[in-house]
Amino acid sequence: MTNMNDLVIQGFTPPLLLTDFRLAAFDMDSTLINIECIDEIAAAAGKKAEVAAITEAAMRGEIADFKDSLRRRLALLKGVPVSALEQVLATKLQFNPGARELCAALKAAGLKLVLVSGGFTFFTRYVAAELGMDFVRSNELEIVDGALSGGLVMQAWGEICDGEEKRRMLLQCAEQIGARPAQCIAVGDGANDLLMMGAAGLSVAYHAKPKVREQAMVAINQGGLDRLLTLFG
């Protein structure tokens, strides 16, 4: 393991060739953006502490069943008005440092970009449009009479985008463009990203939970996402 100014590398020696990769898949909350959207929605309902505690435990890997943890959190948000989501998007959501630069550089090099999130389409639509994502998968909040029902909408692929679904999405998108898993990059911060990261040729932990940092090939512990570009010759 090598430590270069809080950029930890294990399992390979830089530089890599960007031309060896064809696809990059990203988690959204706390990876591409600065917040956990569900926690900020909960703040509007006065339940942030309760929801954030479950989120933190799930991201650390202390709650093994992500689907169960998400359902528990959503149940606490029943009745929250859609205006609370609009407020989070307008006032809380910001891109993490280097997110725009990294995505632009990868796209310029010909890579396809995938946004795969255990978060919500209300936010992934905006993030995907801003960063030029080619593929997106996330959860659809059920809204009844202008408020959250506490549930999700069933989509063609399923109801909840958990760790296994993230892995499936990465492999499905790779197959669609004729790429091998070894030609994929996966970037995340939480335990529900580990399956996706394990399937990719290059796994990157960004300001991640300890369990994720330990298992990733690259851990960016300080600085922006664009630090990843320093690994490529």
Give dist(CA 226, CA 97) in Å, integer: 8
Asked if residues 39 and 73 have their Cβ atoms less than 8 Å apart, the reply is no
Catalytic one among 6, 20, 29, 65?
A: 29
Q: How far is CA 9 from CA 15, 115, 196, 198, 215, in A?
A: 11, 24, 18, 15, 11
Asked about 6 being catalytic, the answer comes back as no
Catalytic one among 27, 189, 193, 226?
A: 27
Sequence-ordered list of residues with C-beta below 8 angstroms from that of 194, at least 6 positions apart, any chain: 61, 163, 188, 211, 212, 215
Asked about 39 being catalytic, the answer comes back as no
State whether residue 193 is helix, strand or coil.
helix
Q: Looking at the annotation, which residues are catalytic?
A: 27, 29
